[in-house]
Chain A
């Protein structure tokens, strides 16, 4: 079965601290992996994506993610969190020749000053 698991529903960090959001996937074919961010009442903004090649991908707003095939993981990281990073983060998986994305349940990030 195809699925995405984000084990952390809610994470709280202090501003300036490092961040890692976890994502595990199950997908029968070669996965295309994505991280999106959603602010309250807004749509989804693409942070970064992985299709192939270098397993460490850089995204916008200083985020990066590492694809680990052996662990079926695609964790999102940021070395220093800013208060404006507070939002909900979604990991998603898709595949070649299909536009259907399967989303995780999301991780809500709260940032304390």
Chain B
């Protein structure tokens, strides 16, 4: 069974640009969440999606957005990049059932803003 796939693995962008990160969940998983990991702030929740609906959003500015498609694949977008957006962005998925908790994480996308 394939795991959670995140693309690209590494990305270098210039301040002011925008970026789109992609996440393909495990087959059959309908719930996808995104986290930002930085040395200073640790792991912080960005948003969660279930069946194409955003169910929860973390405390991030509106420059951070996301969406989920009908096949459960998800994308997150960051506009007007700032140096502080440099981080490892992790996507995680689970089936979404009430008795199945414990996300499976992807390997992440390492974003560097210069």
Using a CB–CB distance below 8 Å, which chain A residues touch chain B?
32, 34, 36, 41-46, 49, 51, 90, 92, 94, 96-106
Determine which residue in B4, B31, B58, B104 has the highest number of CB atoms from chain A within 10 A of its CB, and name it: B104
Q: Looking across the interface, which residue of chain B has its beta carbon closest to that of A102?
A: B45
Using a CB–CB distance below 8 Å, which chain B residues touch chain A?
4, 6, 31, 33, 35, 42-45, 48, 50, 55-56, 58, 90, 92, 94, 98, 101-108, 110
A46 with B90: CB separation less than 8 A: no
Chain A residues near B90 (CB, 8 Å)?
43-44
B50 with A99: CB separation less than 8 A: yes
Q: Looking across the interface, which residue of chain B has its beta carbon closest to that of A104?
A: B42
The B interface is mostly helix, strand or loop, or mixed, namely strand
B42 with A105: CB separation less than 8 A: yes
Chain A residues near B48 (CB, 8 Å)?
98-100
Chain B residues near A97 (CB, 8 Å)?
98
A45 to B101, CA, bound (A): 14
B45 with A46: CB separation less than 8 A: no
A102 to B48, CA, bound (A): 13
Given contacts A101-B45, A106-B42, contact A44 B94 (CB under 8 A): no
A82 to B54, CA, bound (A): 41
B105 with A36: CB separation less than 8 A: yes
A43 with B103: CB separation less than 8 A: no
B43 with A99: CB separation less than 8 A: no
A32 with B105: CB separation less than 8 A: no
